[in-house]
Chain A
Amino acid sequence: MQRQVALIKQSLFDQGYLDEQFIELEELQDDANPNFVEEVATLYFKDSARLISNIEQALERGSFDFNRLDNYMHQFKGSSTSIGASKVKTECTMFREYCRVGNAEGCLRTFKQLKKEHATLRKKLEQYFQASK
């Protein structure tokens, strides 16, 4: 089990899903707070799901309020950065860049990718935490 945990974790890092910020979080975990990282991850996914849905609605409206989209994405990026979700963060940055130049098509494309990365990370982390128990 330990090995599996280590393997999962290693692959997450190797594949760039997570970055060193995740390690920082792990260091905050101790006997008094044994599930800290999992708690944070859970909170992150819950909050980011909300953000994703907000963005989705905004995009579906078709009006492309880039400012608002950028705002959402700024938040998304902030929390993704905090937990070390590297790939997700990258997509956020790209999305914001498209917002900045007003490229709706780019936004849509990037958003799709972002959702994909987000879902993948979620699954992998779930596996990871499961294996760690």
Chain B
Amino acid sequence: MLNPGQGRGPDSGVAGGSSNSDPFPAGLRVLVVDDDPTCLMILERMLRTCLYRVTKCNRAEIALSLLRKNKNGFDIVISDVHMPDMDGFKLLEHVGLEMDLPVIMMSADDSKAVVLKGVTHGAVDYLIKPVRIEALKNIWQHVVRKKRNEWNVSEHSGSVEETGQREDGDNNSSSANNEGSWRGSRKRKEEEVDEQGGDDKEDTSSLKKPRVVWSVELHQQFVAAVNQLGVDKAVPKKILEMMNVPGLTRENVASHLQKYRIYLRRLGGVSQHQGNMNHSFMTGQDPSFGPLSTLNGFDLQALAAAGQLPAQSLAHLQAAGLARPPSLTKPGMSVDQRSIFSFENPKIRHGQMMNSGGGGNKQMNLLHGVPMEMEPRQFTGGGQMRVQQQQQQLSGGRAVGQNVQSSGMMMPVGGGPSMLQQQQQVMLSSSVPRRSETSSSSRVLPAAATTQSVVFNNFSSELPRNSFPLASAPGISVSYQEEVNSSDAKGGAGFGNPSYDIFNDYPQQHNNNNDWDLQNIGMVFNSHQDTTTASAAFSSSSSTQRQRAEHVQNHHQQQQLPSQSLNHMNGGGSVRVKSERVAETVTCPPATTLFQEQYNQEDLMSALLKQEGLPLVDNEFDFDGYSFDNIPV
């Protein structure tokens, strides 16, 4: 059997001398959840043999309440996938969001789909039953990794503003606070796993440092702060200041922000993608997207850019059958239009977005869809707003979040809403049944959005992203969504509050919004939970974002060649899009994969519609459902 514990699991080679008093990983506090009593007993025995402190539980609900009651009472959770009272993945999300603990999933089911689901939901590992003790011996690595990542996250997120703090942290010992020493010790621990006498102790204690439990209220405060700052611009230090919660550290915020971004990405995969695309696209060009015109959508964009070619757009739309009103040009484009456009006019949006406001803003707007942010930015350009609106609208159809966004966007400029509406209507009728639902009237979306927006707001600006689906390419969004469904990226990146059930709840949503995550399913999601995810998320998120940005950009560019782009979008546009660029949107998860799939649809519109199809309003995110109300704090 193993002697993991003798002192130090990781460096068992070292004599358990007095100098190394840190017994880690012995004493690791594990919560194991499994409805099968036989398995539970065996696991408990194995874990105890590893010298861990084990708490077993046969019901997920009980496990959750245990975790909530003892906020810092556990280091890691191991859970079975199939449980009668709650799906293991749901538990995973909750834990990830609320307690930010690493969660290991296990099951007798070793099918790829389920394992992938574990990954996308943010599990740090997936064990196939029967579980052998060797597999359990090393679970402590997930705890360490997660902490390290959090440390890194806070480092990264600090950026300029936090240089000062960071330096402190970097100095390790110099910093008196936990953070500093934690970081310092973390680093040291990594580098010298083998031994460090006092350091180990420090490490261990840092491992055990109190966790912040992100209650509903706290998360909402966080979201509000992020929204205010702008998702792209939100840095932990500022968020922390805005939240003004005593006892909350920048580190806590940083790691939560990371997860949140991942989550948003997952939600708004599609929208973001689009949004991103738009951004990139727009950046490159001026609002006048002449070239795009080949595609109907594109044409619209061009029109939009031009300022209002409603008629043309309509024509284009109709021609294209995409029914996506480019409403870009019209500031007044109601949300509906936006949503419609979102699919088609990623470009336009971008252009507009860019114009309106800083690329960063734009991105944010797109991504987040949060009306708040978008509006101000977008409207700068009036026309730009439209784009966004459109996008939002489109997305609104799909995701709850979108709605929210759209409403925000719509604000607008007040341009020719009529036109948009027309377009929308045209679009609606022609194509997508789903869409019509959402955008039956230009105002429809907003309404929907409103409801949803409420929900979304919980998630802050990032959600709006969902609505962005338009941005990148209709196909893209579609693909995302669909992917989402398939990928079942429900798990949400671990932003597990009960509200996150949203992800779980609506498969359809996944389609739409999830393009964020879905696409990156592999990449993004995992971040929520743990190190791997975290780091992966981070890197992947940045890369994905980049990719998305690229996509968007590509898309835009592609759009310029409307025919081409469309094709691409449908078939492989996403691929292309991805390829390059780093668009500004940080949050855009590389939905590319999704897109590709979607693009295969012959009718982009329908694809779009499908995505948006979620008439959603109510559920895409089910925010209402889970909303933080359910989170017992």
Q: Do A and B come from one complex?
A: yes
Q: Which of chain B's residues has its CB closest to A77's CB?
A: B108
- The answer to whether B42 and A74 touch across the interface, beta carbons within 8 angstroms, is no
Interface string of A48-83 (1 = CB under 8 A from B): 000000000000000000000001001101110111
Whether the Cβ atoms of A43 and B108 lie closer than 8 Å is: no
A36 close to B108 (CB less than 8 A)? no
A101 to chain B, nearest CB (A): 17
Given contacts A25-B42, A28-B45, contact A81 B82 (CB under 8 A): no
Which of A27, A47, A74 lies in contact with B1, CB distance below 8 A? Answer: A27
Tell me, in angstroms, the Cα distance from A74 to B109 when the chains sit together: 9
Contact digits for A1-32, partner B, Cβ 8 Å, 1 yes 0 no: 00000000000000000000100110110100
Question: Is B632 an interface position by the 8 A CB rule?
Answer: no
In the bound complex, residues from chain B placing their C-beta under 8 Å from that of A25 are 42
Interface 1/0s, chain B 261-278, versus A by CB < 8 A?
Answer: 000000000000000000
Partner of B38, one of A30, A36, A40, A71: A40
Are B45 and A75 interface neighbours, CB within 8 A? no
Q: A75 vs B80: C-alpha distance in the bound complex, in angstroms? A: 11
The answer to whether A105 has its CB under 8 Å from any CB of chain B is no
The one of A24, A39, A75 in contact with B130, judged by C-beta atoms closer than 8 angstroms, is A24
Option from B1, B35, B41 in Cβ contact (under 8 Å) with A39: B41
Query: A residues within 8 A CB of B46?
Result: 28
Q: How many angstroms between the C-alpha atoms of A27 and B46 in the bound complex?
A: 10
Q: Kindly report which residue of chain A lies nearest to residue B46, judged by CB atoms.
A: A28
Within 8 Å CB of A78, what residues of B?
36, 39, 80, 82, 107-108, 129
Q: Please measure, in the bound complex, the distance between the C-alpha atom of A24 and the C-alpha atom of B130, giving whole angstroms.
A: 10
In the complex, what distance in Å separates the CA atom of A81 from the CA atom of B35?
A: 15
Contacts of A128 in B (CB 8 A): none
Most buried by A among B38, B45, B80: B38
In Å, the complex CA distance between A26 and B128 comes to: 20
Contacts of B108 in A (CB 8 A): 74, 77-78, 81
* Distance in angstroms between the alpha carbons of A6 and B110 in the assembled complex: 34
Q: Which of B38, B45, B80 contacts A33 (CB 8 A)?
A: B45
Is A83 a contact partner of B1 (Cβ separation < 8 A)?
no
Structural contact, A28 and B38, CB atoms closer than 8 A: no
Instruction: Tell me whether A81 and B129 are in contact in the complex, defined as CB-CB below 8 angstroms, given that A40-B42, A75-B82 are known contacts.
Output: yes
* Candidate in B46, B107, B108 with the most chain A CB atoms within 10 angstroms: B108
Chain B interface mostly helix, strand, loop or mixed? mixed
Report A-chain residues with C-beta under 8 Å of the C-beta of B35.
75
Distance (whole angstroms) from the CB of B128 to the closest CB of chain A: 10
CB pair A82 B130 closer than 8 Å: yes
Per the 8 Å Cβ criterion, residues 74-128 of B in contact with A are 80, 82, 107-109
Q: A44 on the interface (CB 8 Å rule)?
A: yes
Q: CA A78 – CA B108 in complex, angstroms?
A: 6
Q: A24 is contacted by which of B82, B107, B133 (Cβ under 8 Å)? A: B133
Residue on A with the closest CB to B131?
A82
Kindly name the residue among B1, B41, B130 whose own CB sees the greatest number of chain A CB atoms within 10 A.
B130
State in angstroms the CA–CA spacing of A82 and B42 once bound together: 8
Instruction: State how many angstroms separate the Cβ of A81 from the closest Cβ of chain B.
Output: 5
A70 to chain B, nearest CB (A): 11
Nearest-neighbour CB distance to chain B for A126, whole angstroms, equals: 17
Residues of chain B contacted by A30 (CB below 8 angstroms): 1
Interface range on chain B (Cβ under 8 Å from partner)? 20 to 34
For residue B53, give the distance in angstroms from its CB to the closest CB of chain A: 16
Q: Is the CB of B37 closer than 8 A to any CB of chain A?
A: yes
A71-124 contacts to B (CB < 8 Å) = 71, 74-75, 77-79, 81-84
Q: Measured between alpha carbons, how far is A79 from B37 in the docked complex, in Å?
A: 8
Decide if A82 touches B45 in the complex (CB within 8 Å): no
Cα separation A26 to B42 with both chains bound (whole Å)? 11
CB-CB under 8 A for A28 and B39, given A74-B82, A75-B82: no
A24–B132 CB distance below 8 A: yes
Asked if A40 meets B41 with Cβ closer than 8 Å, knowing A28-B1, A75-B35, A81-B108, the reply is yes
Q: How far is the CA of A21 from the CA of B37 in the complex (A)?
A: 17
B34: nearest residue on chain A (CB-CB)? A78
Inter-chain CA distance A28–B43, complex, in Å, is 10
Contacts of B132 in A (CB 8 A): 24
A28 pairs with B49, CB closer than 8 A: yes
Report chain B residues within 8 Å CB of A40: 38, 41-42, 45
Given A44-B38, A74-B108, A75-B36, verify A36-B82 contact (CB < 8 Å). Answer: no
Which of A36, A74, A82 contacts B39, CB < 8 Å?
A: A82
A47/B45 in contact, CB under 8 A: no
> What's the least CB distance linking B440 to chain A, in Å?
37
Give the docked Cα–Cα distance between A74 and B88 (Å). Answer: 15
Question: In this complex, what residue of B is CB-closest to A74?
Answer: B82
> Nearest chain A CB to B545's CB is how many angstroms away?
39
Interface centre among A27, A33, A75, A82 (most CB of B within 10 A): A82
Please state if B130 and A47 are interface contacts (CB–CB under 8 Å). Answer: no
Report A-chain residues with C-beta under 8 Å of the C-beta of B133: 24, 27-28
Q: How far is the CB of A3 from chain B (nearest CB, A)?
A: 25
| Cβ-neighbour of B36 out of A21, A28, A36, A79 (below 8 A) | A79
Beyond A74-B82, A78-B108, whether A43 also contacts B130 by CB under 8 A is: no
B136 to chain A, nearest CB (A): 11
- The 8 A-B residue pairs with the shortest CB-CB distance, nearest first, are A79-B38, A78-B108, A44-B38, A82-B39, A21-B130, A81-B130, A28-B45, A79-B36
Q: Which residues of B contact A (CB under 8 A)?
A: 1, 35-39, 41-42, 45-46, 49, 80, 82, 107-109, 129-130, 132-133
Task: Identify 6 residue pairs between A and B in the complex whose beta-carbon atoms are under 8 Å apart, listed by A's number.
Answer: A28-B1, A71-B82, A77-B108, A78-B129, A83-B38, A83-B42
